[in-house]
Amino acid sequence: MKDFWNSRYAETDFAYGAEPNEFLKEYLDFLPKGKILFPAEGEGRNAVFVAQNNREVCAFDMSEEGKKKALDLAEIKKVSLDYEVCSAMGMPYKPDSFDGLVLIFAHFPKSIRKEVHQKLLTLVKPGGKILFEAFSKEQLKYSSGGPKDVEMLFSPEEVKEEFPGVVFEQLEKKVIVLNEGKYHQGEGSVIRFLGTKE
């Protein structure tokens, strides 16, 4: 997978555009003015946007090429990012170090996904906020992007199971129109939630 993402992010253009995700833009004010973590952040469009809006931002991804693009974007936008290259299982962060967690199209293999999500939750302080958007299992009907493996896609029931101890202010499955760079274009089925860690 690392080679796949390095190859995709080595392309000249931003794979998913340089503009932030629409759901994140809409619910930015839900995130506290504190330290926010972006797992599987790729080329940095979402982390840079939040850093522009007076939050301290940390991000990680397995792709060195993603980090290069993210830091270039951060320089253009005149913000700083703490960006680590590591696997989801090798995150270097300590428990209760973040005020918020933003997961935007962070699709991990089914074999580790639940464990990764629960590890991420330990990094969030009680009362911390979580924003999540990912493709639902119905995304296989659409050609707008996302994994082709149904096991990497989500149902609302799986989200509830994999994020224990989260109070869901909003949890919905929705068909939206994506316009995010070359690889997210057209109608798609997503699951979104806003949550607070108990």
Q: Which of 8, 7, 71, 12 is nearest to 45 (CA)?
A: 71
Confidence of residue 5 (pLDDT cuts 50, 70, 90): very high
- Report pLDDT for 173: 98
- Report pLDDT for 137: 98
Confidence of residue 36 (pLDDT cuts 50, 70, 90): very high
Domain count, the chain: 1
Output the average pLDDT for the chain: 97
Q: Which of 1, 45, 43 is nearest to 25 (CA)?
A: 45
CB 125 within 8 A of CB 140: no
Q: What is the pLDDT of residues 146-185, one digit of tens each?
A: 999 999 999 999 999 999 999 999 999 999 999 999 999 9
Q: What is the pLDDT of residues 70-87, one digit of tens each?
A: 999 999 999 999 999 999
User: What does pTM read for this prediction?
Assistant: 0.97
Q: What is the pLDDT of residues 94-107, one digit of tens each?
A: 999 999 999 999 99
Query: What's the domain range around 183?
Result: 2-197
CATH number at residue 179: 3.40.50.150
**Cα 116–Cα 56–Cα 145 angle in degrees, nearest 5:** 50
Burial code (b: 16+ CB inside 10 Å, e: under 16) for 139-162 equals: beebebbbbeeeebbbeeebbeeb
Q: What is the pLDDT of residues 105-150, one digit of tens each?
A: 999 999 999 999 999 999 999 999 999 999 999 999 999 999 999 9
The stretch 25-37 carries a mean pLDDT of 97
